[in-house]
Structure 1
Amino acid sequence: MEDRAKPGPGNVLEFRLPDLGEGLADAELVSWSVSVGDAVELNQTIAEVETAKAVVALPSPFAGRVVELLAQPGETVLVGAPLIRVQDDTAVPSGQESATNGAEVAGDAPGAGRTAVLVGYGPEGETVSRRRRPVASVATQSDSSRRPVDVAAEPDADESFAHRGAGSESPAVQSVSPDIAVSGSELPEDEAAESFSRRARPSLTTTRAAATPAARRLARELGIDLWFVAGSGPGGAVTVEDVRGAVPVSQPRTLASQSQAAPVATAPAVTDPDAGLIRPSARELRTPISGIRKRTAAAMLASARTIPQASTFVTLDCTASMELLDHLRSTKSFAELTLTPLALVAKSVLAALAEFPEINVFWDEANQEIVTKHYVNLGVAVATDRGLLVPNIKEAQSLSLRDLTREIGWLAETARSGGASPTDLRGGTFTITNVGVFGVDTGVPLVNPGEAAILCLGSIRKRPWVFRDELAIRWVTTLGISFDHRMIDGELASRFLATTASLLEDPLTLLSRI
């Protein structure tokens, strides 16, 4: 690790939202772990942000005392936008205030004015200019990651997420925005795991709408309720122009048509005497699109637009599998595990993928290649209070049924508690979704971008079934597969699905494939 100069005494250090290594341009601030006036230590968790369907804990890249929080929980913050300012605890020697205020820290020497590489952060990037950022924010200064900024000289820009200082004696601000490394190529797996806390996400009970600080101040001055102002800024944040365009009671907007057509009955508007606005009636509820819902929508839109998809189905008698599960649950090996049909389906899918590796592929559009993967990162769709998450089991093809059972249970619990890391949610090669737990017979899921197929497991119920030429009551389920028709033909998908079904009809045949 290269030596980095420690920021000089009396400096205000500004921490900007780092590149989380996920190819995303923003993140939603979930909560602060510190308040103004608190002392923070190196690597202490200062905030949690949500991005790529995961809640990530941000450690502090320096020690000092918090002087300003530049974003509010629920706000969407751009990569490179300032998050927090911390005052160096070391006292400024007499006579040096004017020299350090607005001046460069530690000169222009290589590495000067930078903080050390910390646990949870990769090497500092060249700049964050490759990311979309607020136009007039502190972070947009040339070489701002290395040079202090005189806050008093900054204009109060509408697009900025930072609160601006007003005094002429504001100390120098040094912007710091190291990259967090989460992929295997940037940090070893064990270090990446330590870098992100697997913790439950606090419930979002904030009563504040997402807005820039300047817009929030103007709204307070005009008495406008930001919840009822449509935002046009990054992530739907309300800007100053949005606030100025809000309609007062004296000039209400009408929903009725200006034409001479017959009037349409609408719910009456409700006047808010405090805000001075026309509120929508209680018959409608508008929820900002953010967080997991925003990410899921983007992924599904990309799937529908870029992947030509087809589906096929098979209904099967899985009585033998249910009997095997009942037997295994009574054994010592599975005594402390929750063994479900999903684990046996996963094991059957892995065996079928070994026979049909053409299913475990990826369409590389840039290089015009079909990439066949000789490993399986098995995704398992999990319904959570925050939306649908798809963590995946790394190298699942090498796991036993017992290990699969344990991993599926652990991933589901972690995802529901909000502790799934970006590593858990990236790199899937094949996915299983279980709609049967909701009492649904089958479904047509969309293929996850970066994969070629997804298997759907329907409900397992006792139904009339012809067994050995006689009508009997058997356990029956339906499997469906959606696939990328650019790489997988109907014949290949049908053979793969039929093989998976046959393994569930006679699960003892799995022994010959393990």
Structure 2
Amino acid sequence: MAQVLEFKLPDLGEGLTEAEIVRWLVAVGDVVAIDQPVVEVETAKAMVEVPCPYGGVVTARFGEEGTELPVGAPLLTVAVGPVDGATPGAAPQGASAPPTAAGSSGEGSGNVLVGYGTGAPAARRRRVRPTSLTGPATSAAPVAPAAPVASTAPAPSVAAVREASGPVPVISPLVRKLAREKGLDLRSLQGSGPDGLILRADVEQAIRAAEAPVTAPPAATAPAAGAGLTGERIPLRGVRGAVADKLSRSRTEIPDATCWVDADATELMAARAAMNAAGGPKVSLLALLARICTAALARHPELNSTVDMATREIVRLPAVHLGFAAQTDRGLVVPVVRDAQARSAESLTDEFARLTEVARQGTLTPADLTGGTFTLNNYGVFGVDGSTPIINHPEAAMLGVGRIIPKPWVHQGELAVRQVVQLSLTFDHRVCDGGTAGGFLRYVADCVEQPVVLLRTL
């Protein structure tokens, strides 16, 4: 007798709480193998394929493409075991039972890794439909024929979904889409359908009420913030929503301060030109600045740290995992170069180029975007001289680099035109005082002005 198992959206790690369904990779009636990717989702950090820990026949899918689901919400159900009552013990082609740990009751592998090589080989990713699903189904939830989004498994009740803070049940995905386009929070509605199900009429009524002319409130009543405002409403979700949450948390939790200095980068630019003229792989300016950063952090390890307020401790970190800002079509992201302190300028150049390309393709994994200990922000590429950036929580500091442009500069006692750059350091005042921050920034500026200074630490 087939057993219908429910596969829920797994915890994607790194504090991610929700994901949007981008593309279903299987349909109802398809046979799936253990660890075969079944859906492509977009989180606040990356696009990932989610593998299913069960093998069997897909009996239901929950959510249209474009639907946003919280972690723990049902994704699909799979009939595991025999589905043909005429041939006991037989399973559809490609179906297999999940491994069952001692003390469990067929809950599958339970150890779902997303985006880290758990997907099936390419040959197993193709959709495979059973040659025959005839005969009376022996499962309490019979296997349905292929359909766009048909469900033969009982859906969670409205009350249960609301209590679990999951997606609000509506009569159809079109109703959910209508609410999303109008910026309407479905959780604020009381559905008039069975068991509180939200109908299209409920949404349309709420939209009409929101768009109705706003009457002036009584003099003694202050209007709510944002009430009655008209204009385009853009939901804060995905990458932009995650950035908003992180920046808000940084401003709330971190007492930051910023110091800055102008530096003559003429010698650094000349040194890079000489390196690249000597042959071999080209070295980027960002890589040289990163190499200077890691040397400065070795001298001032306070800035390669994080604050654990639960224990009221400053945690100094042994390795430098260097984040850098990369602009993409999906917004600004901060990929992380692991163990930057152990890399050469050539290695840093290659890794910056690789991560930038992956970021532009939208295929960065959560591992590529997390775990940074210090951030290098080259906002000079936007044509600006300076900035006071917000620290990338939970890091303790960020070095900002403005554009490098010709400016009048006193060089060897005479006025000359030199390549000048403004450097800024925003730091968490809990981990160090201004003396340490100033010492770090001064060392960086000295290396920019006289690259030979860096040779002393290599």
Q: Give the TM bin, normalised by the shorter chain.
A: 0.7 to 0.9
**How far has the Cα of 1:34 moved from its partner?**
2.2
| 1:115 equivalenced with 2:108 (yes/no) | yes
**How far has the Cα of 1:400 moved from its partner?**
0.8
| 1:361 corresponds to | 305
**How far has the Cα of 1:429 moved from its partner?**
0.9
Q: What letter corresponds to residue 309 of structure 1 in structure 2?
A: D
1 CA distance for matches of 2:266 and 2:100? 75
Q: What letter corresponds to residue 43 of structure 1 in structure 2?
A: D
Provide the aligned C-alpha RMSD in A. 3.7
Q: What letter corresponds to residue 501 of structure 1 in structure 2?
A: A
Secondary structure in structure 1 of the residue aligned to 2:170: helix
| 1:54 equivalenced with 2:46 (yes/no) | yes
| 1:5 corresponds to | none
- 1:302-329 deviations in Å (ceiling 9; x for gaps): 1000100100001111011111111222
**How far has the Cα of 1:68 moved from its partner?**
2.2
Name the CA shift for 1:329/1:73 in 2 (closer, same or farther; >3 Å): farther
Structure 1's unaligned 5+ residue stretches are 1-8, 98-104, 123-147, 162-209, 262-279
Which aligned pairs between 1:282-301 and structure 2 lie closer than 5 A? 284-301=231-248
The answer to whether the Cα contact below 8 Å between 2:337 and 2:351 also exists between their aligned partners in 1 is yes
| 1:438 corresponds to | 382
**How far has the Cα of 1:286 moved from its partner?**
1.8
1 CA distance for matches of 2:35 and 2:356? 29
- 1:277-321 deviations in Å (ceiling 9; x for gaps): xxx99x832222111111111111110001001000011110111
| 1:227 corresponds to | 181
Q: What letter corresponds to residue 328 of structure 1 in structure 2?
A: M
| 1:214 equivalenced with 2:170 (yes/no) | yes
The answer to whether the Cα contact below 8 Å between 2:21 and 2:68 also exists between their aligned partners in 1 is yes
| 1:322 corresponds to | 269
2 CA distance for matches of 1:107 and 1:438? 55
| 1:247 corresponds to | 205
Among candidates 252, 258, 269, match of residue 216 of structure 2: 258
2 CA distance for matches of 1:252 and 1:449? 37
**How far has the Cα of 1:49 moved from its partner?**
2.1
**How far has the Cα of 1:362 moved from its partner?**
1.4
2 CA distance for matches of 1:400 and 1:108? 46
The answer to whether the Cα contact below 8 Å between 1:317 and 1:477 also exists between their aligned partners in 2 is yes
1 CA distance for matches of 2:315 and 2:175? 53
Q: Report the TM-score when normalising by structure 2.
A: 0.77
**How far has the Cα of 1:252 moved from its partner?**
7.7
Secondary structure in structure 2 of the residue aligned to 1:91: coil
Secondary structure in structure 1 of the residue aligned to 2:158: coil
| 2:65 corresponds to | 73
**How far has the Cα of 1:356 moved from its partner?**
1.1
The answer to whether the Cα contact below 8 Å between 2:400 and 2:423 also exists between their aligned partners in 1 is yes
2 CA distance for matches of 1:309 and 1:226? 36
Secondary structure in structure 1 of the residue aligned to 2:260: strand
The answer to whether the Cα contact below 8 Å between 2:246 and 2:392 also exists between their aligned partners in 1 is yes
Which aligned pairs between 1:75-224 and structure 2 lie closer than 5 A? 75-88=67-80, 90-94=82-86, 110-116=103-109, 120=113, 156-157=157-158, 160=161, 212-216=168-172, 219=175
- 1:169-201 deviations in Å (ceiling 9; x for gaps): xxxxxxxxxxxxxxxxxxxxxxxxxxxxxxxxx
Name the CA shift for 1:369/1:465 in 2 (closer, same or farther; >3 Å): same
2 CA distance for matches of 1:118 and 1:364? 28
2 CA distance for matches of 1:496 and 1:376? 15
| 2:37 corresponds to | 45
Secondary structure in structure 1 of the residue aligned to 2:406: strand
**How far has the Cα of 1:211 moved from its partner?**
6.8
1 CA distance for matches of 2:159 and 2:387? 46
Which aligned pairs between 1:388-399 and structure 2 lie closer than 5 A? 388-399=332-343
Q: Report the TM-score when normalising by structure 1.
A: 0.69
Q: Could you tell which deviates more after superposition, 486-495 or 305-314? A: 486-495
| 1:464 corresponds to | 408
**How far has the Cα of 1:498 moved from its partner?**
0.6
- 1:488-508 deviations in Å (ceiling 9; x for gaps): 211111111010010011112
1 CA distance for matches of 2:218 and 2:113? 64
Which aligned pairs between 1:17-36 and structure 2 lie closer than 5 A? 17-36=9-28
1 CA distance for matches of 2:100 and 2:86? 20
Name the CA shift for 1:152/1:408 in 2 (closer, same or farther; >3 Å): closer
**How far has the Cα of 1:255 moved from its partner?**
3.3
The answer to whether the Cα contact below 8 Å between 1:18 and 1:79 also exists between their aligned partners in 2 is yes
Q: Percent identity?
A: 37
Q: What letter corresponds to residue 284 of structure 1 in structure 2?
A: G
2 CA distance for matches of 1:224 and 1:48? 23
**How far has the Cα of 1:119 moved from its partner?**
7.2
Q: Could you tell which deviates more after superposition, 450-459 or 320-329? A: 320-329
Structure 2's unaligned 5+ residue stretches are 90-97, 116-139, 143-151, 189-196, 220-227
- 1:410-433 deviations in Å (ceiling 9; x for gaps): 122122222222122221111111
